[in-house]
Amino acid sequence: MTTLRSVLSPAPPTPVSPTVALFLHGFGSHEHDLAALAGWLPAGLPWASLRAPLETGYGGAAWFPLSPDGAMEQPAIDDATEAVWAWVDATLAPDATIVPVGFSQGGLMALQLLRTRPDRVLAPVVLAGYVPEGPQPADPSLADSRPAVFWGRGDADPVIWADAVARTRVFLAAHASAETRIYPGLGHSICEEELDDVRGFLDAHLSA
């Protein structure tokens, strides 16, 4: 099993931390990238930013390979998901919950965590992310419980394929209570308005 590298908050997660935010970067990025978003987390929430297991060169990493047509191999996604859960199991208390915050490919990973161990996941944040084809183990229970999910994306995103967006829209409608935000003119990126919306979403659902 791959051991993931991580960057931790100044007050790092401990074995008794009840809730921890996990930042999950996009394809070709690294563990330091999304750590800059920590200022939009609820005050006092410890966080960790994980590095994906596959090296892409030039200091970047990926959660799973991508082909030019957007095809994804589910076994590679499963391996990455297991690696994240191995980090959680080794680092956090058995009853700790995680708040995954993922961008692009990391957004897919945030939903994968929800779709594999929903009892450990709270209020996932998906930024320019999407879901793969095919069902996941916890999908039937999610259809009943409808957990809160934030899904934000730009309407000018040239990277995420239209079918992936459509697939994600259908999945969330059937399996979550999704707060969906679409930002005019935003490409494959994150804007301050979106981060303000994320902070409001997390404040509401973590305080509850």
What does the DSSP assignment read for 146-162?
Answer: --EEEEEEETT-SSS-H
110 vs 176: CA distance, rounded Å: 13
**Of 175, 69, 196, 87, the residue nearest 131 (C-alpha):** 175
- What is the CATH code of the structural domain delimited by 6-207? 3.40.50.1820
**Of 206, 179, 208, the residue nearest 46 (C-alpha):** 206
Residue-wise pLDDT for 63-82, tens only, equals 999 877 667 899 999 999 99
For residue 14, the model assigns a pLDDT of: 74
Residue 60 parent element (H or E): strand 60-62
For residue 8, the model assigns a pLDDT of: 83
Q: Domain coordinates of the chain in residue numbers?
A: 6-207
59 vs 102: CA distance, rounded Å: 19
153 vs 164: CA distance, rounded Å: 12
Q: On the CB side of 153, how many CA atoms lie within 13 Å of its CA?
A: 24
Rounded (10°) angle between helices 74-91 and 105-116:
70
For residue 53, the model assigns a pLDDT of: 95
Residues of the chain below pLDDT 70? 1-3, 16, 69-70, 208
Q: Are 134 and 185 in contact (CB under 8 A)?
A: no
147 vs 203: CA distance, rounded Å: 15
